[in-house]
Amino acid sequence: MEEKELQKLVEKISIDYFGKLFRHKASFNGRLRSTGGRYLLGTHNIEINKKYLDQLGMDELIGIIKHELCHYHLHLEGRGYQHRDQDFKVLLKQVGAPRFCRQLLDKPKNRTLKKLLIYQCDKCQLQYKRKRKIDTSRYVCGKCRGKLKKAKEILL
């Protein structure tokens, strides 16, 4: 789907579900990571995350557009357009828009795997689970003051 098609789709959804014209710009923004779309208060434009269309399909995209149009129309009317406002919640239900979008299937490439480090005392065998490395030459067991050593590392 291209930007022109997105613009026409947003305009159609605005008329069909809200009975009002969408007079601003709708575009894809590839830099959005944690959200399906956003309404820009200053310009009144709507930006959509294209990954949602690619991975979750047209139905999810339409839901995101409806959600952002709720922000758009309520803001222009001077009514409560934020997630916490009653006007916003009521309009979401009327048009069948989701309050939150679903999660994407893949994780961003720049995130690393989480790991769990397990340290064990030489004397009493007590285990310590840590997310970060510890300096075993500086720290000792809190129970018996024995020497700690790295037992294993688990990837989560």
Catalytic residue set: 68
What is the C-alpha to C-alpha distance for residues 2 and 101, in angstroms, rounded to an integer? Answer: 21
Residue 148 structure tokens = 């700690």
Q: How many CB atoms lie within 10 A of CB 127?
A: 12
Angle at 54 between CA 52 and CA 59, to 5 degrees: 60
C-beta of residue 68 within 8 angstroms of C-beta of residue 51: no
